[in-house]
Amino acid sequence: MRPLTEPQIRASFVNCTKGEAKRLHVPRDLADRPWEDLDYLGWSDPQAPTRRYLVTEVDGATYGVVLRINEASVGAARRSMCSLCITVQSGGVSLMVAPRAGKAGQQGNSVGTYICSDLACSLYVRGKLRTGTPGMHETLTVEQRATRLVANLESFVARVRA
Ligand SMILES: [Zn+2]
């Protein structure tokens, strides 16, 4: 994806208030992120351990999503599969909950999905990071896996924005 600046990231959030988007934690090392290998930028919040953030591009527009880790799912040692990158990990995938955008979110509606806890899906599909968990045997190329990750990201963002 194209490298993003802090103001672009703050302006991209679809499921929190403008005030929250202004205050939330944005990584300081944006310049050092491996943008060319990323389908989305994901990070955690040192001040709020259950918070996660994900920013991606769909059709040239940038969308940021605020997520909360469902704590009951943290530390579970069982094997689970990330629904974005389809990587199987033991204890490295968490149920993440995103409030829906707008009124639906204010009324408490949310979208839950299983995502790699470290939000490094892009690096798993490219083989730049390995899980240590024997996964499914996949015959897809890196390019096909990245395309699938992008498609899953797009449908996730669409569900949050719907
Ligand atoms: Zn993943």
Q: What is the mean pLDDT of the chain?
A: 92
Distance from the CA of 124 to the center of ligand 1, in angstroms? 7
Distance from the CA of 97 to the center of ligand 1, in angstroms? 15
Give first-to-last CA distance, the chain, whole Å. Answer: 23
pLDDT above 90: residue 39:
yes
Distance from the CA of 123 to the center of ligand 1, in angstroms? 9
Would you place residue 5 in the very low, low, confident or very high pLDDT band (cuts 50, 70, 90)?
Answer: very high
pLDDT, one tens digit per residue, over 77-86 is 678 899 999 9
Q: CA dihedral defined by 119, 40, 24, 157, rounded to 10 degrees?
A: -100
Distance from the CA of 19 to the center of ligand 1, in angstroms? 29
**Average pLDDT, integer, range 8-25:** 97
Percent of the chain residues topping a pLDDT of 90: 81
Distance from the CA of 117 to the center of ligand 1, in angstroms? 8
- Tally helices (H) and strands (E) across the chain: 5, 7
pLDDT, one tens digit per residue, over 68-78 is 998 776 555 67
Would you place residue 89 in the very low, low, confident or very high pLDDT band (cuts 50, 70, 90)?
Answer: confident
pLDDT above 90: residue 110:
yes
Q: Which residue has the higher pLDDT, 89 or 98?
A: 98
pLDDT above 70: residue 144:
yes
Look-up of token digits 């892009």 = 122
pLDDT above 90: residue 134:
no
Q: Ligand 1 (ion): which residues have CB within 5 A? A: 82, 84-85, 87, 116, 121
pLDDT on residue 74: 57
Q: What's the CA angle centered on 55, arms 46 and 8, to 5 degrees? A: 95
pLDDT on residue 19: 96
